[in-house]
Every structure is written in C-alpha cells, then in structure tokens.
Chain A
Amino acid sequence: MPDGPTCPPPLEPDDDPVLRARLSAAHVAIIGCGGLGSNAAMMLVRSGVGTLTLIDFDVVEPSNLNRQMFFADQLGMPKIDALAITLRRVNPDVVLHAHQECVSAETIIPLVKDADVIIEAVDRADTKAMIVNTVLSSLPDKPLVAASGLAGFDSANDIVTERIADGFYLVGDLRSDVTLGHSLFASRVVAAAAHEAHAAIRFLLGYPEP
C-alpha cells in the first residue's frame, strides 16, 4: 500500500522562472466547472499551469452568472466550451482536455489519471463523496483537493485548507451546506476556489499543506 502521493521536490521560493517552468509543465484535472471549478481553472491558468483537464456535463445558465466564471453572452453554451474560450483569452497556449460528461465511479478514473493533481469541484454532497472515495481508492498516489462547506455568508476566514489524510486536502468550513438554505455568494465561493487552486499550486511547487 503506497504511503500517498510523492510531492515534487521543493523549489527555491524566490526563483520565479523555475517556479513558472514547474507550473507550465504541470497538469491539473478539475471535476466540475461551476462556482469552484471555473474560478479555480482561471486562477490556475493565470498562475501558469500549462495543462488542465476540465470535466462538466452542464451548460451555462443565468443562475450561474452570480459566482461562476461565465458571461451573459455564453448562456446556453456547454460550460467546458465557454470556459475554454475564456481561459484561452488569458493564455492561448494553455493545453485543455475538455470532457462534457457527468462522471460516475465507473468513468472518472480514465479522465483524471494522467493529472498531477486532481481537484473535486462539484456541488452535490453524494457526488463529492463518490469522487473522493473513488479517486482515493483507485489512485492513492495522486493528490486530491476537495471542498466542503462554502455556502452562506459566515466569515471567509472560516474557509481553510487542511490535509485530512495522506494526499487528501480539504477546503471549506466543513459545515455550511447549501441544502440547508444558505445562499451561495461569489465572494465566499471564490475564496474556496482560490484555496483549492492554491493547494494544487503549493503541492506542485513542493510545499504541500502539512
């Protein structure tokens, strides 16, 4: 049984060209391109990550525009296509593997197995559990970043990144459940998305959360 993912060797924090080269060669898979995933994808591309796998089955709807990285002129487009256009406006050279599908325990592993880091960014609790259980059991040597608890308007300072187990990093306050009637606010959702993106970046640079 492996002891979990092997983190890349840490780089010198002040050597920007080397840091950027490491990120340019990196591949992050994002499962779900809604409030968490679309914003995390943008932050990863702006940070210089060279390859993303984007997975989402949905199309852009008006209710998405209050927190997701989509625009009114993209309504009706598949989210992966709309997001690809936006990401390429930032970096035309970014390599994108886009899959318009609803993942299941049977289909998820081939889509994400080649990534260096996997980010769970879906909305439903049962789908989150399925992704975490499937990835951690099938790919124990891959780091996984997941999110739980980002709804409502409690303090953004309650959203943290924690290493819960070997190779498993959890973002959120762990309690604020959208199904309990809490609204989703861009400010808090994007804070969680930033935590997810940053956990991936720190792992890639050799500085995983302790």
Chain B
Amino acid sequence: MNIDLALFAYLSQYQPDGLGGRHARAMTFAPGTCISEVISELGLPDQPRVIFLNGKHAEESVVLGEGDRLAIFPPVAGG
C-alpha cells in the first residue's frame, strides 16, 4: 500500500530518507496499517501533534488506504 507522507516542522527529520523538508514522500506500508502504526514505525516523539488525512483532520486510529495523503503537524509553543 502506497501513501504520501508529509511531516511538518521538526518532525521532518524523521523522514526515512533523512533529507528533511516538509514536502510529501511516497512510502509503502502493509495493507491495513493505521496512522498510529505509521507514527510508531517512524519513531515520532510523543509530543503534541495534529494529523490530517487527505486534507481533513483525522484520528490516529484511522486505517490508511492506497493513495492516501497523510500529513502530521506538531505545534510549537509561543503566543
């Protein structure tokens, strides 16, 4: 199963290609993989985050499908 994955801000360092940057990368996961399993597989830190799937807010329990666009954004403090 192929998805496009974009990691914003400091999370971009966890892209497997090590190149950083917020642009989406094509990645392959087993069919039936849910978002929380992607987060675990990438080793993302347990920090506040917001998840979007195909341009809409999504929960970590959602199971991904072929061609999905997953984006994860970590807010940083200051206001």
A residues in contact with B8, CB < 8 Å? 174
| Contact of A128 with B48 in the complex, beta carbons under 8 Å | yes
Name the segment of A20-28, A71-79, A145-153 touching the other chain.
A145-153
Question: Is A122 in contact with B76, judged by CB distance below 8 angstroms?
Answer: no
Interface size range on B against A: 20 to 34
Contact A140 B57 (CB under 8 A): yes
Inter-subunit contact A35/B48 (CB<8 Å):
no
Assembly CA distance A149 to B75 (angstroms): 8
State how many angstroms separate the Cβ of B39 from the closest Cβ of chain A. Answer: 14
Asked if B56 and A149 make an inter-chain contact with CB atoms under 8 angstroms apart, the answer reads no
Q: Does A175 contact B (CB under 8 A)?
A: yes
Write out the residue numbers on chain A whose beta carbons fall within 8 Å of the beta carbon of B9: 148-149, 174-175
Residues on the A chain within 8 Å of B73, using CB: 148, 164, 170, 174
Q: Kindly supply a per-residue 1/0 record for chain A positions 87-107, scoring 1 wherever the CB is within 8 Å of any chain B CB and 0 otherwise.
A: 000000000000000000000
Does B55 sit within 8 A of A, measured CB to CB?
A: yes
Query: Are B77 and A123 touching (Cβ within 8 A)?
Result: yes
Interface residue ranges of B64-79 to A (CB < 8 Å):
71, 73-79
Inter-chain contact B57/A148, CB cutoff 8 Å: no
Asked if residues A129 and B77 are in contact (CB atoms below 8 Å), the reply is: no
Of B49, B52, B56, B77, the residue contacting A1 (CB under 8 A) is B56
Starting from the known contacts A1-B56, A133-B50, A147-B78, 16 additional A-B residue pairs (CB-CB under 8 Å) come to A35-B79, A121-B79, A129-B49, A129-B75, A132-B50, A132-B75, A140-B57, A148-B76, A148-B78, A149-B78, A172-B76, A174-B76, A175-B9, A176-B76, A176-B78, A179-B76
Binding site for A on B (CB under 8 A): 8-10, 47-50, 52, 55-57, 59, 71, 73-79
In the A-B complex, the 6 residue pairs with the closest CB atoms: A129-B48, A136-B57, A177-B76, A123-B79, A128-B75, A178-B78
